[in-house]
Structure 1
Amino acid sequence: MTLLLDSNTFLTPAMTYYAFDICGSYWSWIAHAAATGDVKSISPVKRELRQKDDQIRHWIDMHASNIFMPDDSAVTNTMAQVATWAGSNGYTTAAVAEFLGKADSYLVAYAMLGGHQIVTLEVAAPAAKGKIKIPDAANAHGISTITPYQMLRQHGVRF
């Protein structure tokens, strides 16, 4: 099973505990795991990460061909399921629009399509109807989520 990386598995580590100058091993492992197919991400995440001209963007540009799966037209059907779920579970119109306008909804759809697991720092909040969290949407569609720490432990990574 391939692990699909959320934007925050790049952004938060780069800006905090796994900054490029502190823990280059994290980034080397991500690049290696992507080359072997253990981890991937999707084009909408890549588009989010490339919005700023920073270290993340430069690192993404160097490793994009191994990390990011190409857009897949087959995801249309699963996106429709995700959109229907989002619109029919009591979330505000603004929350649904935000969720569907970001990579989050696509991560869930791609995970459904390929039987993948999602790696994210988001935490489930099913009662909070003001924002749709990836773990809640994933859980509703039979997709599991794990944290980056769980991902590293599952793969026996030691820095």
Structure 2
Amino acid sequence: MQLEGATIYLLDANVLITAKNSYYAFDRVPEFWEWLLHWAERGAIKMPVEIVEEIVGGSDDLAQWLGDKDNRKALCLEEDVNVARVQEVLANAYAADLTDAEIIKIGRDPFLIAHALFAPDVRTVVTTEVSKPTTQRANRRIPDVCDQMRVRWCDSFTLVRDLNFSTKWRDRL
């Protein structure tokens, strides 16, 4: 259902975690979660399976929500990651000689960026991380890695503005 050439926003786990814990709690702003699923079902918002697994491995209400079969199906980007792209991200944007401990610290961020590299003209990474260009190796932030790899990125507030979220979003359909 995704329109050809339209932006696909690939969410980092921290986008949902921060939303749930801060400004869009399930019991306070359920409209946000409905809006998120609406756009996910249309292909505009997705999460790579590697990122989904970070959340569903937890034991809180977000893990339960994303673990719901329908919610997971709507949000999950159903494609295999290109391992060569993940290795490219690691080697070129973090360091070619990362230790095992550094790779563990980096986590699944390179998978998110590798999925964006699949179609950099239409995919945008969404993260709550803030750029800090002076960091090196495993401490690099997603915005800086995206910049280096020429991948578009934005914060969650840009996503909300771009897709026009409000608590009355259904009235504007």
Give yes or no for TM over 0.5: yes
Q: Give the whole-Å Cα distance in 1 for the aligned partners of 2:16 and 2:150.
A: 24
Where does 1:95-134 land on structure 2 (aligned, <5 Å)? 95-99=102-106, 102-115=107-120, 116-129=123-136, 131-134=139-142
Distance 1:138 1:69 in 2: 19
- Tell me which of 37, 40, 45 is aligned to 2:46: 40
Other-structure match for 2:74: 66
Partner residue of 1:82?
A: 89
Percent identity, aligned pairs only, is: 23
1:14 aligned partner, one-letter code: K
RMSD value over aligned CA atoms? 1.9
1: distance between equivalents of 2:77 and 2:19? 21
Cα shift at 1:124: 1.0
* Distance in 2 of aligned mates of 1:144 and 1:107: 12
Stretches of structure 2 lacking an aligned partner (at least 5 in a row): 1-6, 168-173
Equivalent pair of 1:91/1:132 in contact (CA under 8 Å): no
Q: TM-score, normalised by structure 1?
A: 0.89
Tell me if the contact between 2:135 and 2:141 (Cα under 8 Å) persists in the aligned partners: no
Report the equivalent of 1:19.
Answer: 25
In structure 2, the residue matched to 1:141 is 149
1:94 positional shift:
4.6
AA aligned to 2:18 is: T
Give the gaps of 5 or more residues in structure 1: none
User: How many residues were matched structurally?
Assistant: 155
Give the CA deviation at 1:7.
Answer: 0.3
Residues 51-89 of structure 1 deviation map (CA, whole Å, 9 limit, x = unaligned): 22211111102200111113415x11211210211214x
Structure 2 Cα separation of the partners of residues 124 and 32 of structure 1:
29
